[in-house]
Chains A and B, each alone.
Chain A
Amino acid sequence: DAGITQSPRHKVTETGTPVTLRCHQTENHRYMYWYRQDPGHGLRLIHYSYGVKDTDKGEVSDGYSVSRSKTEDFLLTLESATSSQTSVYFCAIWGGYSNQPQHFGDGTRLSIL
């Protein structure tokens, strides 16, 4: 498997608290993604990055922010978590060539009470 590590793997927190999820890669891939996965909705793109300090919004970006200060790290922040953000979050990486697949991390299960 590609070198992708998500942390934490599980988190329970309360509404209104800030939460940061980390994605770390050892593949030196240019692109990194954050998805959320909810029953009946498949994988929905939150934000993605196409280089250090270069990020763009996905289809469900409201309530989330991201940062990428180094090639290997992509952080997802929920400034003030809400119960609707309870989900499984996946990070993915892509080398940037059309014949390459995305490689996914193991996911973070986030519960907001």
Chain B
Amino acid sequence: GQQVMQIPQYQHVQEGEDFTTYCNSSTTLSNIQWYKQRPGGHPVFLIQLVKSGEVKKQKRLTFQFGEAKKNSSLHITATQTTDVGTYFCAGLGTNAGKSTFGDGTTLTVKP
């Protein structure tokens, strides 16, 4: 079945440093979605990428979808303490009803 690997599992940064998490799928994806979960909260949708090579930005966050539609990344520029949480990617494959989530990257930011 479809597998989605996400690295790193944890990332500790100093406030102001950049952060990147990577997602790799074993199969070609129809789309990929990114979610953020604050400590004690539930996953909240951030963005969806659909097209090969697509790049989207949300303020300090940059999302990329690979040319082969099998990998994706989330980059945060100049992290802030409000960025703490766990970031998940979720890939939609051939089964239209099921997305496969990566294990998430937990970001901690030291002031």
Q: Which residues of A contact B90 (CB under 8 A)?
A: 102
CB of B30 within 8 Å of the partner chain: yes
C-alpha spacing A59/B3, complex, angstroms: 11
Residue of chain A at shortest CB distance from B97? A50
Could you tell me if B43 and A98 are in contact, using CB atoms closer than 8 angstroms?
Answer: no
Could you tell me if B33 and A42 are in contact, using CB atoms closer than 8 angstroms?
Answer: no
Residue of chain A at shortest CB distance from B105? A42
Selected from B1, B9, B31, B101, the residue in CB contact (under 8 A) with A98 is B31
A-B pairs with beta carbons under 8 A, tally? 55
CB-CB contacts below 8 Å: B23-78 with A: 30-31, 33, 35, 41-45, 48, 50
Q: Contacts A104-B43, A107-B42; is A42 near B104 (CB within 8 Å)? A: yes
Could you tell me if A106 and B97 are in contact, using CB atoms closer than 8 angstroms?
Answer: no
Q: Which residues of A contact B9 (CB under 8 A)?
A: 40
C-alpha spacing A107/B40, complex, angstroms: 9
Q: Which residues of B contact A102 (CB under 8 A)?
A: 33, 43, 45, 90, 99
Q: Which residues of B contact A42 (CB under 8 A)?
A: 6, 88, 101-104
Q: Contacts A90-B42, A99-B50, A101-B48; is A43 near B88 (CB within 8 Å)? A: yes
Q: How many positions in chain A have a CB within 8 Å of any CB in the partner chain?
A: 25
Q: What is the minimal beta-carbon distance from B103 to any residue of chain A, in angstroms? A: 4
Q: Which residues of A contact B41 (CB under 8 A)?
A: 106
Q: Which residues of A contact B97 (CB under 8 A)?
A: 31, 48, 50, 56, 94, 96
Interface centre among B30, B88, B103 (most CB of A within 10 A): B103
C-alpha spacing A79/B92, complex, angstroms: 31
Residue of chain B at shortest CB distance from A97? B96
Question: Which residues of B are in contact with A by a Cβ distance under 8 Å?
Answer: 1, 6, 9, 30-31, 33, 35, 41-45, 48, 50, 88, 90, 92, 96-104
Question: Which residues of A are in contact with B by a Cβ distance under 8 Å?
Answer: 31, 35, 40-45, 48, 50, 56, 58-59, 90, 94, 96, 98-99, 101-107
